[in-house]
Chain A
Amino acid sequence: MKKFVILLFSVVIVAGLIFTGCAGEGPAVPTKPEEPTTAPPTVPPEVPGAEYPQEILIGIPMHITGPLGMVSKGQIVAADVALEEINGAGGIKNMGGAKLRVLTPDTQLVPDIAVSETERLITQEGVVVIIPTYMHGEEVAFTAQRFKCPATQYQTIMPPTMSEEDWYVSRVFNDEDEDFFDNQAAYTLWNQEKGVDGPHSIAFLYGSNTWATEASAWGPPMFSDWGYDVVLEMPYMDGQATFMPEIAKLKAAKPDHLILFMQAEHPVFNRELMEQQVDLPYGMITQGGENSEYYAILPPEAYEYQFIHEDGDIWFPYRCYGDKLAQRHLDETGLPLATYATNIYQGLWLIAQALERTEYSADIQTFRDNFQRAYLATDISLDNCPDPQTCADGTPWCPQLVRGSPTLSFMPSGHVTGREGHACLSQWRNGRRVPMWPEHMRPPEAEWQDLLVWPIPKWSER
């Protein structure tokens, strides 16, 4: 009996393997669609009496628990604001006024869970589109592509992943390497304004997560090409409790400028740097330390004069953000508006305008394919805004363009075209973050422009 059972199931399993392995062809991967290159796609007419859904679901896996929980809180506020506006204005009018609803499962900052939650959203919950957010965006986008669900990516992806074969993944963001062009442009501008000859030696300090490792790989070669001397490249482990060894190395190498890829470790690092009185003539800039919470628990001297590379949209047009998003963000999270939140706000509005041009289908996969076609055909500018609004002071604004770029369209690979107004370099001055680059980001009050400090004073002179 024993032998029989073993024989039986071995045969069945092997047969099953062969059968399903060879015969299964799976659903066809859609090839690059023929996109209307000239005329924009026409809005499909609302068919009277057709059955439209009540709700359209959008999935946003978020890391609600974990050190980056404040980021997700802000994103949820932004999602609420956007949905109130979109649904309040009548939802998706070409689908019978279907309302948008957002599902936000918690990934606990664990990539494994991010992936399985994404899978669950797609296969169980039937979301039409996924917005990967901040951390683990790549894993989520990867999973969405695998399950043929559109993903509108707002975060760094390694360029090889971004190709025409990843038809379902689009990206409303720029490569990390482009951030360094911003740095270089800023340093050049400031040198001109202040009549100095900027940093010549640069040190890098980067964490162990995906974003930091990849982004920091781009930097040193680029800066070398620009003629800087890269004197230090220091990795550290995320969550490291002390940075004394790294600071000791900084002391020894004496770079002019330090570029950080650091997030939650700022409270420790800044404080130890201050205690050790390490002088960096041209200061330091953090490419990831945008979260104001990190600085709230530090004495102001520990972060004065520090530069921050952040996304410029929170300043543009900042007056408008005030009455729409910034105040509510501040009220509900206790923190100033951050780009993670504006990403979600813009993301939902972009999805809404694409849905208006999507032909509905009761078959979820067809619906998703139609949506992605419509989304990739997005072509918006300030003059051609699908849902123009006005700020309290009369300034016109377009919710689909809040990231600061005056136009938005996609290349065939799904990558957004145009990167104007993407980033902003700001400096902490007297407990306030003041945007210092690009020039049009600087708030108009004249005295702020005089606040730029470049180079920065030594510790002993402060």
Chain B
Amino acid sequence: MKQNRGIEALGERLRTRQIPLGWVIIAVVLILLIIVPFAWKDNSYYVHIVITIFIWGYMATAWGLVGQSGQLSFGHAAFMGIGAYTTGILYSQFGVTPWLGVFVAIGLATLGGVIIGIPTLRLRGVYFALATFAFGFIILMIVKNATYIGPVYIGGGAFLTLPRAGQAPAVFQFESKTPYYFMALAMLAGIVYLSHWFNRSRMGFYWTAIRGDQDAAESLGIDAAKYRLRAFLISCALTGLGGAFFMQYFRFFSPQKVLDVSQSIQIALIGIVGGWQSVFGPMIGGFIIVPVAELLRLNLGAFPAMSPIIYGIILMLFILFMPNGVNEPFMRGLNWLERKYWRPSQNANNENNEKVGRQ
């Protein structure tokens, strides 16, 4: 690891291109993203779109953690919904500020993960996916059916709103979109980094082994069930956190909005398009799918059924031809760029491992 020796050293290293291209790109993109809400201050609709990209990128990355351990969860919206409903209800009915409520939300989402994760420890592949799907469906039905659970008003099929507090950072409500923007950006960057960190940790190592061939890994003494459960629980907790933010931003929530099957499919679609077993993949997927979806909706307004049809076609095409998502070609392209233009003279292997990471 190179030592940070100040701006001049940084500039020097930039000039001699000792820094991997990937990091430079990330820095540039980050700076651009930071400027965005100020540059587009008058166009809150566009800022809203970018925030949506961040949110879905976040969800997909959290979902991707399960993918890193080789499983596909088809009911992840349940945890998003649990997070959303928990913070929303705690605030609107009990006056608990979301800053605290979010911890409860994470706790409940993790609990949900335990409820479904432990019994399904031994399930593989398709059956695990089916089981998570059924779980998601059950949660959806429970919420849709319950008007009250004890003293708590759930609302059944009706939607609930957060009482408006105007400009109140103490309860995580703001008048303008900018604070939400930065929070979403921070969350996205944070979770991508976390995913990257897990990937390179010992546990991530085990995940890769399990993902490749579970039986072989187990024969080497890796407790597949334990590590898969951990991946699942971490993912659930983070998804719950995302759900809490989701709800704070949109300020109203209904089962259809946060718990529906289509939300689970959306998360999975973004993850798959991006690359469901990679670190950066789901985020890239978010940057692709969300604008596409929005464009579809705006331009094909006359044919509203078109949008899910195109979604379905995209999903099918990716499964058939690019099941590992765009992450692989993306990284390879980055690699090629680096070798060709950024540091053509050096042997590309050393630095690249750090940047490219694992597939």
Contact = CB atoms under 8 A, between A and B. Distances in A.
* A touches B (Cβ under 8 A): yes
Contacts, number: 118
A111 interface: yes
B295 interface: no
A241 B2 CA distance: 65
A217 to B, nearest CB: 8
A207 B258 CA distance: 20
Interface in B71-87: none
B23 A2 contact: yes
B234 to A, nearest CB: 20
A124 B44 CA distance: 9
B157 A16 contact: no
Interface stretch (B177-185, B223-231, B336-344): B177-185
Interface of A, secondary structure class, is helix
A111 B256 contact: yes
Interface residues of B, number: 49
Given A106-B301, A106-B304, A16 B182 contact: yes
B178 A110 contact: no
Nearest to B145: A235
Given A5-B30, A138-B159, A139-B159, A120 B144 contact: no
Interface stretch (A20-28, A275-283, A332-340): A20-28
Contacts of A123: 43-45
Nearest to A207: B157
Contacts of B34: 9, 12-13, 16
B167 interface: yes
A321 B175 CA distance: 45
Nearest to B147: A213
A252 interface: no
A8 B179 CA distance: 18
A212 B155 CA distance: 12
Interface in A1-34: 1-6, 8-10, 12-14, 16-17, 20-22, 24-27, 29
Nearest to B144: A208
Interface stretch (B104-112, B247-255, B283-291): B247-255
A26 B44 CA distance: 13
A76 to B, nearest CB: 13
A146 interface: yes
Interface of A: 1-6, 8-10, 12-14, 16-17, 20-22, 24-27, 29, 64-65, 105-106, 108, 110-113, 115-116, 119-120, 123-124, 138-139, 142, 146, 161, 165, 207-210, 212-214, 217, 235, 237-238
Interface of B: 1-2, 4, 10, 13, 19, 23, 26-27, 30, 34, 43-45, 48, 144-145, 147, 155-159, 161, 164, 166-167, 169, 174-176, 178-179, 182-183, 185-186, 189, 193, 250-252, 254, 256-257, 297, 301, 304-305
Q: Which 7 A-B pairs have the closest CB atoms?
A: A26-B175, A208-B157, A20-B178, A210-B158, A21-B179, A21-B169, A65-B304
